[in-house]
Chains A and B, each alone.
Chain A
Amino acid sequence: MKRIYMIEDACIGCHLCEVACITEHSQSKNPVKAFLHEENRPISRCTVEEWDGGVVSFSTTCRHCDEPDCMRACISGAIQKNDSGVVRIDTEQCVGCWSCVMACPYGAVQRNLTKKKANKCDLCPDRTSPACVDACPNRALVYKEGSQK
């Protein structure tokens, strides 16, 4: 299956992947409206990490593991892997117990404390290519075939 991979040397630390992720998962799908006016603005599903003021930076996100630790830890069954291999959270079913946060070795499940729901990359079901990948100005994120045990 296609997954998102980061190229550390190409990352310029602009955080546009996070902006694009929030925008894509917002109600308006407009960055300004989402940031200024949406009460329950989503939180980003990708995380930009930086070191030494940005000398090192890269964007991490869900690996959609073949054997997802998050899914195995989920106590409500909210996390399932579909037939195409995409690991998604059913937000209605999630009880916010953070077992997935405890289990994911990639630190790729976030806590949305306002909604008390876990949050993770869904590979943008409404798009052909994930929003973070399309937004990256230096192609530090690529969307391609690969396996991830």
Chain B
Amino acid sequence: MNYVIIGNSVAAVGAVRGIRSTDPQGNITIISRERHVAYGRPLISYLLGGLITEKRMPYLPEDFYEKNRVNLLLNAEVVGVDTANGKVTIAGGDVISYDKLLVATGGDPFVPPIEGMAGKDRIFTFTTWDDAAKLKGMANDIQKVVVIGGGLIGLKAAEGLHLLDKQITIVELADRILSAAFDRPAGRVVAKKMKANGIDVITEDTVVRIEGEGAVITGVTLKSGDFIPCDTVIVAIGVRPAAGFLKGSGVEVNRGIVVDDRMETNVKGVFAAGDVAEAKDFFSGVKNPMPIWPDAYIQGDIAGVTMAGGSKGYPGGIAMNSIELFKVSTISMGITNPVEPKEYEILTYQDLENYQYRKIVLKDGLLAGAVIVGAVDRAGIFAGLIRDRIDVTSFKDQLLTPDFGFVNLPRDIRSALFAPVGKVTGADEPARAVGH
């Protein structure tokens, strides 16, 4: 059996382990357009800011590829897939045959056309090790930076540059930063902390023109008419699935590569996992892209096991982020900003002075989401309650307490969770503790 995996990040790693758990023999080839072994992609802001050295970038034990007998092709960009004949074409003309194919290519940064951007040499994106290395290499020549986009990538780029003493302005179109993960109070807490650190956060505005003669940037003009001087621009508006090479392959691509509960696409034998895939959502069952690190691993694992002939189903993706910005810890998970708030019960606790905030979102007796700012300890217990669909009605009043723990749960649930034989699901009781 020949397994080919396009992409070499966390979903690919999950897939290699998934394949090897089921098939110790088959040939595995990983094709990556980057020149590095698998690395902790979210670490690029730590690298930029000098919090870690390049030595810490590799994500796996050194012997991973050898131990799992993976043929690793780096610097190799796939340009086409022939699903009828099971062949992948690499730039330069090499062709590789597969029996099972996994597309785990992640996302490409989206850069919209902005007036004045042509020919400027200091417009960057920030999604790869090389992006971070390039910025770091020229850091001495950078003074003022405008970051377009106040999402996770933009804020992490801003934090890294701030650690290098650069002056930063973030321009965000929405009414707050991190609007995808945070609600208003949590966004405000972080924005407050950023402002206290000297970072300008401009919301409900956007860059309409990049100013400067020739290759040099002198500043940006906003929609509101304001001019912000800068010498460097980082575009962090979002990412798009890196699936362009599938054109003409017959693989269905919507907002991502559409996959079923085993991560298989509409073309038999072709799978997708991670940020490039569009799999079902845990709550709604509706398929949507879920660019979440742990979820990419889980999808990769399921794809790997399935490709190797095993069986494993996908419970659905749950958005989940642990983000520390300017020493404020935040963890958010699940549904944090219900579109129809009336259908949900929302409990909150806030002490914004001390950067503490907790929000619990409940629906029909189940935990649907949580936002924790500050004391994030043991937040994973909430993740477990969500995933296991445990009825929290009897102890919901205690969910907001900072030392919430298993002692607050009914004993039968606790005993099931900590049972010596693993989580028990009896035939005569509802499934409440499966997975992990």
List residues of A whose CB falls within 8 A of some B CB.
3, 5-6, 8, 47, 49-51, 56-58, 60, 63, 65, 67, 69-70, 72-73, 75-77, 80, 92-93, 95-107, 109-111, 144, 146-149
Chain B residues near A104 (CB, 8 Å)? 380, 383
Taking a contact as CB atoms under 8 Å apart, the answer to whether A80 and B436 are in contact is no
Band of interface residues on B: 35 or more
Question: B197 to chain A: closest CB distance in Å?
Answer: 18
Cβ of B418 within 8 Å of any chain A Cβ, yes or no, is yes
CA distance A70 to B384 in the complex (A): 12
Cβ of B266 within 8 Å of any chain A Cβ, yes or no, is no
Number of residue pairs A-B, CB distance < 8 angstroms: 136
CA distance A24 to B324 in the complex (A): 30
CA distance A8 to B43 in the complex (A): 40
Cβ of B84 within 8 Å of any chain A Cβ, yes or no, is no
Taking a contact as CB atoms under 8 Å apart, the answer to whether B294 and A107 are in contact is no
18 A-B pairs, CB-CB below 8 angstroms?
A: A8-B411, A56-B407, A60-B406, A67-B301, A69-B380, A72-B301, A73-B322, A77-B59, A77-B61, A97-B42, A98-B324, A101-B378, A103-B320, A105-B380, A105-B388, A107-B381, A109-B380, A110-B377
Cβ of B218 within 8 Å of any chain A Cβ, yes or no, is no
Chain B residues near A73 (CB, 8 Å)? 293-294, 297, 320, 322
CA distance A104 to B417 in the complex (A): 12
Known contacts A69-B294, A101-B331, A101-B380: A95-B46 contact under CB 8 Å: yes
* Bitwise interface map of B from 308 to 344 toward A, beta carbon under 8 Å scored 1, else 0: 0000000000001110100001010100000000000
Taking a contact as CB atoms under 8 Å apart, the answer to whether B380 and A102 are in contact is yes
CA distance A5 to B420 in the complex (A): 6
Chain B residues near A101 (CB, 8 Å)? 322, 331, 376-380
Taking a contact as CB atoms under 8 Å apart, the answer to whether B405 and A47 are in contact is yes
CA distance A14 to B59 in the complex (A): 40
Question: B244 to chain A: closest CB distance in Å?
Answer: 26
Taking a contact as CB atoms under 8 Å apart, the answer to whether B377 and A147 are in contact is no
Chain B residues near A56 (CB, 8 Å)? 407
Stretch at the interface among B50-58, B98-106, B188-196: B50-58
CA distance A49 to B377 in the complex (A): 14
Indicate which residue in B333, B405, B423, B435 contacts A102 across the interface (CB closer than 8 Å): B333
Known contacts A69-B294, A109-B380: A97-B405 contact under CB 8 Å: no
Taking a contact as CB atoms under 8 Å apart, the answer to whether B329 and A98 are in contact is yes
